[in-house]
Structure 1
């Protein structure tokens, strides 16, 4: 039910699942396994898989830490969006990539929950997208030493509030990996 006209398609966003980002991530292996399953399912349904890759002073472009984790392999035909801000839309070509594919619904996975994931789901929703957060396919490191809750609580809280997020003409949802479908909610699931 996106507010974006002529955007009936769905895309899977894989945000910042990079070696340096995932090194100390909560439940790293299970989250990567879930993301890999979603990528396979999206490809089977000819759903675009859009990869987002962050760089900044602490995650230098071209370094091993900047690379995607070895468990996930991007196909050359799949768009790669480079970003330097938390919101994957800010100062990137993500909107152009999604518009070219007539995407109005996003399935969001990746890291970090309380930074780039949160910024991107809000950024997408504000821009008119329907946004489904995959509840067991996003993660964060433990930043409780700096006053943050433990990562399991950050993830649980994000899942809790996002499932109730509302705005006119758009839907927000939280769904587990095994329940994700790559069809628009208004169409029959496959």
Structure 2
């Protein structure tokens, strides 16, 4: 096993926020679940990452009960669960150590928020020497307004893909990864 699927922040905390109604991919657990199935079938490591802000009193405070996987997802006991307090999954965790100990060299990255935690983890993973695949249709985000200008979720995803492609990551859809797995099985 040299590959790992990193599932970032697909957690109930986001559903507990009022902004959830504006999310571009409210059924994110479905494409993420497909990636989890593919990884497990290939014998790849699945790593679950949750964002946590202890003592904050908001939806990311573990004391409130929202810092858990979305109900549609199931973690196997042998799959690592990493709690992070930074935007990327490496800085405030032992993720790199866990991946190194298992000989992981390739990462597939998905989760919530496309341009924030998922993109940042992709960039840091690339800088650390991992071969990274970014799966935009297994990410989710909200529109962002700054200075009176709003970028739609679709514009944010497109910008993220353009920023990452061929520099920090290979870009692939869930369908493309499923087809590649089916072809490899033949």
What TM-score range do you get, normalising by the shorter chain?
A: 0.7 to 0.9
The alignment yields a C-alpha RMSD, in angstroms, of 2.3
Q: Secondary structure at the match of 2:175?
A: helix
- Residue 74 of structure 1 and its aligned partner are, at CA, apart by 0.7
Of 150, 154, 157, the match for 1:155: 157
- Residue 62 of structure 1 and its aligned partner are, at CA, apart by 4.0
Moved >3 Å (runs of 4+): 145-148
- Which residue matches 2:172? 175
Q: Report if aligned partners of 1:106, 1:129 keep a CA contact under 8 Å in 2.
A: yes
- How many residues are aligned here? 174
- Residue 21 of structure 1 and its aligned partner are, at CA, apart by 2.1
Q: Which runs of 5+ in 2 are unaligned?
A: none
Q: Report if aligned partners of 1:110, 1:138 keep a CA contact under 8 Å in 2.
A: yes
Q: Which runs of 5+ in 1 are unaligned?
A: 1-7, 167-171
Structure having greater relative contact order (Cα 8 Å, sep ≥ 6): 1
- 1:47-58 matched pairs, under 5 angstroms: 47-56=44-53, 57=56, 58=58
**TM-score (normalised: structure 1):** 0.83
Q: Which has the higher mean CA deviation after the structures are superposed, 156-165 or 9-18?
A: 156-165
CA distance in 1, matches of 2:104, 2:74: 22
- Which residue matches 1:60? 61
Q: Report if aligned partners of 1:22, 1:111 keep a CA contact under 8 Å in 2.
A: no
CA distance in 2, matches of 1:148, 1:103: 38
CA distance in 1, matches of 2:132, 2:36: 17
- Residue 148 of structure 1 and its aligned partner are, at CA, apart by 4.9
- Which residue matches 1:9? 2
